[in-house]
Copies of this chain bind each other. A is one copy, B any other.
Amino acid sequence: MTIYFDNIYLGKNSVVAGPYINNGPLKGHFDAIYNDFYDGENTFEDCEIKEAIKCINILINKYKDINIDIFLSTDLINQLVISNFVANNIKIPYMGVYNACATFVEEIILGSSLLNNKNINNVLCLTSAHNLTAERQYRNPIEYGGPKPEYATFTVSAATSFILTKEREDIKVESCTIGKVYDYGIKDSFDMGSAMASSAVLTLIKHLEDTKRDPNYYDLILTGDLGKYGKEIFKTMFYKEKGIELNNYNDSGVLVYDMNDKEVLAGGSGPSCLPSYYFSKIYNMMKDKKIKKVLLLATGALLNTTSVNQKKSIPSICHAVSLEAL
């Protein structure tokens, strides 16, 4: 299902980055940073809430004056509790959304559709993640501190926020392809890159079919977050399906960290991985007209701890958005 938008734009944005990502190749490109997982708070969760609120305040301060109508938000924590407390702080009409690490693009799809309503002019979107709120929830107590396989990814600690607007800006939301859920029978919850790679391939193929485009239509096709191994699976599978080698492709999971750091394993993941890379790097390249057309493929692994303990496989999803510099 591909939908097209006429006058929807990416407005200003901000990224607040935590440990690891802030020591990687994006260093110096963030709006603010924090250097330890508490940042003066008593819990990891309060730290994550604080950084997310800071991120939104930085964004709002980039405008002289802005009236935000709706707040869409996501995070990895059960019942979106980080988003809920952020919404309680900022007091903007709020709706929570969740497709795991694919939610960044889910927000663009829903936010752009909300802007079709006459009296909605600006939608604020947030993605929040914190490595240790996620580790506590997904791996404590069983695997806590245990060694992980090298194909495991490492949740990016960052809050990213951005405005979707009807006001003319430099980058346009051109079209979105909403993905279906697929399940390839993968049961290893560390191996999310493999679980998600095929969904990314299927959504890319669907997007190209619906829009009658060639991969080379885009200056860049960027997945997030497949990681080192998922990225190779994605390229191989796409070649097998379409006979085309992608030479304009990369994955944000392998680009956000210094991959020489053994701790980050197969690379970044989490709902903030793709947007923190996009807004810190690609967004600016688009503003500077260095690249014009970008396709983002946001992938999500749709598990929880109960489904993993019950030995169920890991379904996955991928949503695509085509962004154009004007």
Q: Which residues of B contact A76 (CB under 8 A)?
A: 79
Alpha-carbon gap, A136 to B151, bound state (A): 31
Is B95 within 8 A of A1, CB to CB? no
Q: Which residues of B contact A81 (CB under 8 A)?
A: 302-304, 306-307
Q: Binary interface profile of A, 90-123, with partner B (CB < 8 Å = 1, else 0)?
A: 0111111111100000100110011011111000
Decide if A211 is an interface residue (CB 8 Å cutoff): no
Contact residues of A between 180 and 225, Cβ < 8 Å to B: 180-183
Contact residues of A between 270 and 326, Cβ < 8 Å to B: 302-307, 310, 312, 315, 317
Is A97 within 8 A of B97, CB to CB? yes
Nearest residue, chain B, Cβ from A6: B118
Is A96 within 8 A of B99, CB to CB? yes
Nearest residue, chain B, Cβ from A319: B95
Q: Which residues of B contact A110 (CB under 8 A)?
A: 95, 110, 113-114
Overall SS of chain A's interface = mixed
Contact residues of A between 122 and 154, Cβ < 8 Å to B: 136-137
Chain A contact-residue range equals 35 or more
Alpha-carbon gap, A242 to B84, bound state (A): 28
Contact check: which of B43, B77, B116, B317 meets A116 at CB < 8 Å?
Answer: B116
A1-B120 contact in complex given A43-B310, A84-B315, C-beta closer than 8 Å: yes
Alpha-carbon gap, A3 to B120, bound state (A): 8
Is B97 within 8 A of A96, CB to CB? yes
Decide if A34 is an interface residue (CB 8 Å cutoff): no
Contact check: which of B87, B93, B312 meets A315 at CB < 8 Å?
Answer: B87
16 contacts between A and B (CB under 8 A): A1-B120, A4-B117, A4-B119, A45-B306, A79-B98, A79-B304, A81-B307, A84-B181, A85-B307, A85-B315, A88-B181, A88-B315, A94-B317, A96-B98, A97-B97, A98-B98
Measured CB to CB, the residues of A under 8 A from B are 1-4, 43, 45, 69-70, 76-81, 84-85, 87-88, 91-100, 106, 109-110, 113-114, 116-120, 136-137, 178-183, 302-307, 310, 312, 315, 317
List 11 additional A-B contacts (Cβ < 8 Å) besides A3-B118, A3-B119, A79-B302: A43-B310, A78-B304, A85-B312, A88-B183, A91-B180, A94-B178, A95-B109, A96-B97, A97-B98, A113-B113, A116-B116
